[in-house]
Amino acid sequence: MTIRAIDISTSALIAQRTRLNTLSGNIANMSSLVNEAGEAKPYQARQVVLRTDDVNRTASGAAGVRVDEIVTDQSDPLYRYQPEHPLAIKEGQWKGYVAYPNIDLSTQMVDALEATRAYEANVGVMEITKNLGRETLSIIA
């Protein structure tokens, strides 16, 4: 039972670490206007999708979590009129505009804070579980 509880908390730690890494990548690329291939295409935010992990399940129904996928935000970029910018769009509806990533710093920071708190909570659960196991062994011995 104690080992299964630690496995569940470990799965949550891994999921929240992945989420934090993804969020930090979004924040780091808020000003990226060019993709890896050198094309004038703004960075698109990533988001982690979590799912219940049925492998880590207790008899009482508690379950772990796993990263199901990391999806790319498909929303339109933010356009700013900057006709003198070297990456300004040359023709069409958005002529003279520069496409920027559609990433809200406040939302990213709140999500990062939430992931950090979830991570800390699971570390706390692991400490309690470890102490419970230690106390149980001291009673038996």
**Is the pLDDT at 53 greater than 80, yes or no?**
yes
Q: What is the pLDDT of residue 48?
A: 97
**Is the pLDDT at 3 greater than 80, yes or no?**
no
Nearest to residue 8, comparing CAs of 68, 70, 66, 69? 66
Tell me which residue range forms the domain holding 38. Answer: 2-140
**Is the pLDDT at 15 greater than 90, yes or no?**
yes
d(CA 69, CA 67): 6
Per-residue pLDDT tens over the stretch 57-72: 777 778 889 999 999 9
Where residue 27 falls among pLDDT bands split at 50, 70, 90?
very high
| Domains: count for the chain | 1
d(CA 105, CA 97): 22
Where residue 2 falls among pLDDT bands split at 50, 70, 90?
low
Q: Which residues are paired to 80 by β-bridges?
A: 98
Per-residue pLDDT tens over the stretch 78-105: 999 999 999 999 999 999 999 999 999 9
Strand pairing report for 97-100 and 78-81 = antiparallel
**Is the pLDDT at 141 greater than 80, yes or no?**
no
